[in-house]
């Protein structure tokens, strides 16, 4: 009985802010009352009409998609190399290294980026690519973790041995066995990376240039305005994160299917 | 025998880098159509041996031949051995048919032909109609059949099975054991099966190869291995054994902890230390004392298995394991003289 009540209470605690955001975004007036009065969709119209929000929306999507693509391009070979490393010590060390950014506050990373990339030698601060580079550092550990543990769970090594004994070349093994067998974990890894990239604030706030500010950075301004406007903008962020996750997932699936199909008949 | 052996290992040695484990001075031949079962305790190098033949490992010294061709330096792909893994190693994202057809796909066999051959292979392993399933939807035994079909479909030079039955439950294991034998004979392919299960080895093999600490101790037919084990290790590892140490008192008598044993005559000077082997099922319970090699016995352990009993007896200052169908009380046992054989000490 008691565990059930704890569960219900916790779920309510989790859901309340999100539910309130929804309610608030459709409320006309919200001042010092528990719930807003009146119903309207004008806040959404206002956010949609706001040029800085529009630009931030597409900037965020672009950054998320690029981060995902880079995570696959870098993470898959890297994870594979770590998994196939012969020495157990090397594997453990590599794992520690790539997990390191998880412990790193994004703020620290941002300061580092500012120091390095505001110099005359590397004057890239403010470029959207630098922003993407930072998001890769933050997202890659989660991607690698998912993919490498899946390699172990699948017994990828034995699968490859089997394929090799059946006459499969190195490239064929990668295209026929490794890639398709990993498609599920690549997918779930990308969902995490996309959600992380969309919601990231600390790093993006400091490193993004004025013209490519991401959505959360712009969202901060909304909190100084009307409550309904802020709520609507936040709900959109939520939707954006969901969309990015789903898009990331679908595109990864498409890529895997494409690779399998090409390698196929 | 006509033609070269399908598999030939000549003075093969391999040592894992940075360790003492490996295999040493292995000489083994597998004739076309022959099934050799390699048996030994865990860590003795059985799987290493298999991986050396398949090419996953390269020998440090010696020579590997397949069908008379030297493949010592050849790649895994070019060796064309069908390998069946303990974990089946089916590709989880491919249908059963695609799994079986895979070796033909990488050999660029045309789609229609390879699907037909895969289907025929599935029929051979009794899985006709399962082609569209995914491996995850099959039972362990069925998955192992798919693995077998996949390893055979490209007509490999040899079939290598790495503990193919150990991941299966007891009932499935017995069925699969017969299945492997049937399919292997039907395809008439030289095969090496790795196991640590003596029943598997004795019932499946044309010849059994006993491996210990990376060395082949004995290679012989199952019956030869059981009846005339090369040493105490083989005697103990294959079948149950009474190993009795003693001292020769005359050409046909040995003093042992269980008493003075009459043994088959052998010219050995008195005082020689010897080790004797008596199989438990050769010892006969007897109602009373009297006669050659009859000893009073006290039951220490009595396990009933339905058809027979496995009994441990205290005899003299020693003990004997006995396997018998006799149901009643046991007070004396008879050790027939011809059931006693000499072993070289380990």
Buried/exposed A93-108: b ≥16 CB within 10 Å, e otherwise: ebbeebeebeeeebee
- For β-strands B158-162 and B207-212, DSSP reports them as unpaired
Contact B244, B216 (CB under 8 A): no
Residues 6+ positions from B281 with CB-CB distance below 8 Å? B323, B324
Domain(s) of CATH 2.40.50.140: residues in chain B:
242-343
Does A181 contact B102 at a Cβ distance shorter than 8 Å? no
- Would you say residue A23 lies in a domain? no
Does B102 contact A154 at a Cβ distance shorter than 8 Å? no
For the segment(s) B242-343, the CATH number from 3.30.1130.10, 2.130.10.10, 1.10.150.650, 2.40.50.140 is 2.40.50.140
| B107 to chain A: closest CA residue | A167
Neighbours of B11 (CB within 10 A): 12
Tell which of A151, A166, A265 to mutate to test the B interface (max B CBs under 10 Å). A166
Q: B58 by DSSP, 3-state: which? A: coil
Contact B229, B277 (CB under 8 A): yes
* CA pair distance B139, B149, nearest whole angstrom: 15
DSSP state of B15: E
* CA pair distance B12, B163, nearest whole angstrom: 22
Sort residue A43 into left (φ over 0), alpha (ψ -120 to 50) or beta. alpha
- The predicted-structure confidence for A147-197, as pLDDT tens digits, reads as follows 999 998 889 999 999 999 999 999 999 899 998 999 888 988 998 999 999
Residue ranges of the alpha helices (H) in B212-253? 222-227, 232-237
Q: B332: which 2 tokens?
A: 């004396």
Neighbours of B253 (CB within 10 A): 15
Domain tally, chain A: 1
Going by pLDDT thresholds of 50, 70 and 90, the confidence category of residue A36 is: confident
Partners of residue B255 on adjacent β-strands: B247, B260
Q: What angle do CA B338, B340, B343 make, to 5 degrees?
A: 135
- The predicted-structure confidence for B28-86, as pLDDT tens digits, reads as follows 999 999 999 999 998 899 999 999 999 999 999 999 999 999 999 999 999 999 999 99
* CA pair distance B82, B152, nearest whole angstrom: 6
Higher pLDDT, B108 or B289: B108
- Would you say residue A80 lies in a domain? yes
Does A165 contact B111 at a Cβ distance shorter than 8 Å? no
- Tell me the pLDDT of chain B averaged across its residues: 92
CATH number (domain holding residue A232): 1.10.3720.10
Domain(s) of CATH 3.40.50.300: residues in chain B:
7-237
| B109 to chain A: closest CA residue | A265
Q: pTM for this one?
A: 0.81
- Would you say residue A47 lies in a domain? yes
Q: Which is nearest to B313 in space by CA: B334, B290, B336? A: B334
pLDDT of A76 higher than 70: yes
Complex ipTM, two decimals? 0.84
Q: What is the CATH number of domain B7-237?
A: 3.40.50.300
First to last CA, chain A: 58
Nearest to A265 among B76, B81, B111 (CB): B111
Residue B12 burial (10 A CB sphere; 0-12, 13-18, 19+): buried
Does A165 contact B76 at a Cβ distance shorter than 8 Å? yes
Q: B233: which 2 tokens?
A: 């290790």
Q: What angle do CA B105, B149, B52 make, to 5 degrees?
A: 85
| A162 to chain B: closest CA residue | B89
Q: What is the predicted pLDDT for the residue at A85?
A: 84
pLDDT of B343 higher than 80: yes
Q: Which is nearest to B76 in space by CA: B58, B104, B56? A: B56
Residues 6+ positions from B57 with CB-CB distance below 8 Å? B14, B48, B51
* CA pair distance A205, A211, nearest whole angstrom: 12
Domain that holds residue A207: 41-263
Contact B59, B13 (CB under 8 A): yes
Q: Which is nearest to B192 in space by CA: B328, B313, B3, B40? A: B40
Please give the distance of CA A7 from its chain centroid, rounded to a whole number: 28
pLDDT of A265 higher than 50: no
- Tell me the pLDDT of chain A averaged across its residues: 87
């Amino acid at each position: 009985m008691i565990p059930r009540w704890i569960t219900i209470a916790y779920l309510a605690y989790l859901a309340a802010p999100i539910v309130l955001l929804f309610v608030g975004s459709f409320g006309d007036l919200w001042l010092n009352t528990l719930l807003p009065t009146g119903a309207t969709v004008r806040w959404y119209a206002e956010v949609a009409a706001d040029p800085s929000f529009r630009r931030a929306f597409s900037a965020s999507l672009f950054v998320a998609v690029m981060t995902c693509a880079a995570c696959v391009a870098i993470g898959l070979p890297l994870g594979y190399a770590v998994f196939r490393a012969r020495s157990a010590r090397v594997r453990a060390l590599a794992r520690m290294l790539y997990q390191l950014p998880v412990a790193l506050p994004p703020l620290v990373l941002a300061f580092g980026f500012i120091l390095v990339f505001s110099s005359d030698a590397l004057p890239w601060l403010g470029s959207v690519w630098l922003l993407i580079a930072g998001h890769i550092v933050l997202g890659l550990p989660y991607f690698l973790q998912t993919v490498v543990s899946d390699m172990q769970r699948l017994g990828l090594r034995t699968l490859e041995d089997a394929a090799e004994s059946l006459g499969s070349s190195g490239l064929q093994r990668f295209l026929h066995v490794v890639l398709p067998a990993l498609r599920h974990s690549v997918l779930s890894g990308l969902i995490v990376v996309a959600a992380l990239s969309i919601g990231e604030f600390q790093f993006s706030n400091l490193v993004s240039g004025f013209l490519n500010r991401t959505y959360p950075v712009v969202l901060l301004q909304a909190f100084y305005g009307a409550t309904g406007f802020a709520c609507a903008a936040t709900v959109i962020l939520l939707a954006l994160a969901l969309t990015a996750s789903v898009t990331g997932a679908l595109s990864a699936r498409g890529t895997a299917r494409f690779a399998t199909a090409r390698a196929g008949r | 025998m006509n033609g070269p052996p399908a598999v030939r290992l000549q003075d093969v040695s391999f040592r894992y880098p940075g360790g003492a484990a490996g295999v040493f001075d292995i000489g083994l031949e597998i004739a076309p159509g022959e099934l050799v079962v390699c048996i030994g305790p865990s860590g003795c190098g059985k799987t290493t041996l298999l991986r050396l033949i398949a090419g996953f490992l390269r020998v440090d010294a010696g020579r590997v031949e397949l069908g008379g061709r030297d493949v010592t330096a050849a790649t895994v792909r070019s060796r064309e051995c069908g390998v069946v893994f303990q974990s089946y190693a089916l590709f989880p994202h491919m249908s059963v048919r695609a799994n079986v057809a895979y070796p033909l796909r990488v050999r660029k066999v045309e789609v229609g032909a390879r699907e037909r051959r895969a289907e025929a292979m599935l029929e051979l392993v009794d899985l006709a109609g399962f082609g569209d399933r995914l491996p995850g939807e099959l039972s362990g035994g069925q998955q192992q059949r798919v693995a077998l079909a996949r390893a055979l479909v490209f007509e490999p030079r040899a079939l290598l099975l790495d503990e193919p039955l150990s991941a299966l439950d007891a009932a499935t294991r017995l069925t699969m054991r017969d299945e492997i034998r049937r399919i292997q004979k039907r395809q008439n392919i030289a095969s090496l099966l790795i196991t640590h299960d003596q029943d598997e080895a004795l019932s499946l093999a044309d010849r059994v190869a006993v491996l210990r600490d990376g060395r082949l101790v004995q290679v012989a037919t199952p019956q030869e291995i059981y009846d005339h084990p090369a040493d105490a290790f083989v005697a103990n590892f294959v079948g149950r054994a009474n190993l009795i140490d003693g001292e020769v008192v005359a050409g046909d008598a040995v003093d042992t902890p269980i008493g003075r044993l009459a043994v088959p005559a052998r010219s050995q000077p008195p005082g020689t230390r010897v080790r004797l082997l008596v199989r438990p099922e050769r010892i006969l319970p007897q109602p009373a004392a009297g006669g050659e090699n009859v000893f009073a016995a006290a039951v220490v352990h009595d396990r009933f298995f339905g058809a027979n009993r496995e009994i441990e007896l205290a005899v003299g200052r020693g003990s004997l394991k006995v396997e018998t169908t006799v149901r009643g009380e046991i007070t004396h046992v008879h050790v027939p003289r011809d059931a006693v054989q000499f072993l070289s000490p380990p």
